């Protein structure tokens, strides 16, 4: 029989791979045979392959499961918290607002510019029910 694009192909009988399974095309047969015969390796089974012990990786290398992972996590979390605290402290120490905010903002709690004078002013204004930044 000839192919519409030229060349020849022949019809083959259905390939029987597994009981109650008939595959018509040959490449399906290959995929299914591989899937049925190598399920242990396709699904993550099988042993570990040999690897060089001298390779260093920041992620830990092959199949790493350190026994002290909790301590390592605590050290890294402490370092991240310390750096965030230092950056926040430096930012709060250098914060300046030449124009006062129109409403209360969270940085007023730690900015030196708003510490004592603003607390007294907010208390007086809140008692008088006036606008917080209205000059009297």
Of the pLDDT bands very low, low, confident and very high (cuts 50, 70, 90), residue 131 is: low
Torsion of CA 58, 61, 65, 70, to 10 degrees: 0
pLDDT at 88: 92
Residue 36 lies in a domain: yes
Domain match, 51 and 82 both? no
Residue 60 lies in a domain: no
95 Cβ contact list (under 8 Å, min separation 6): 107, 111, 112, 113
Domain match, 49 and 97 both? no
Using DSSP, state whether 22 is helix, strand or coil: strand
Has this prediction a pTM greater than 0.85? no
What's the domain count of the chain? 2
The model's pLDDT over 41-63, given as tens digits with 9 standing for 90+, comes to 555 666 667 777 677 777 777 66
Instruction: Choose between 80 and 134: higher pLDDT.
Output: 80
pLDDT at 75: 96
Share of the chain above pLDDT 90, in %: 14
Residue 29 lies in a domain: yes
Domain match, 133 and 74 both? yes
Average pLDDT in the 19-40 region?
53
The answer to whether 107 touches 92, Cβ cutoff 8 Å, is: yes
Domain match, 80 and 107 both? yes
Residue 9 lies in a domain: yes
Residue 93 in this model has a pLDDT that exceeds 80: yes
Element (H, E) at 21: strand 21-23
Average pLDDT in the 66-93 region?
93
pLDDT at 82: 98
Domain match, 94 and 125 both? yes
pLDDT at 99: 81
Residue 135 lies in a domain: yes
Domain match, 76 and 39 both? no
Counts for the chain of helices (H) and strands (E), in that order: 4, 2
């Amino acid at each position: 029989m000839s192919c519409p694009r030229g060349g020849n192909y022949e019809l083959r009988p259905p390939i029987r791979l597994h009981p109650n399974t008939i595959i018509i095309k040959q490449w399906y047969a290959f995929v299914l045979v591989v899937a049925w015969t190598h399920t242990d390796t396709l699904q993550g089974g099988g042993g570990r392959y040999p690897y060089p012990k001298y390779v260093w990786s920041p992620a830990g290398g092959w199949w790493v499961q350190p026994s002290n992972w909790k301590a390592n996590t605590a050290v890294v979390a402490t370092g991240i918290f310390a750096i965030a605290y230092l950056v926040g402290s430096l930012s709060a120490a250098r914060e300046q607002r030449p124009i006062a905010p129109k409403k209360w903002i969270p940085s007023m709690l730690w900015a030196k510019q708003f510490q004592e004078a603003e607390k007294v002013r907010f208390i007086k204004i809140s008692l008088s029910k006036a606008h917080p930044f209205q000059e009297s």
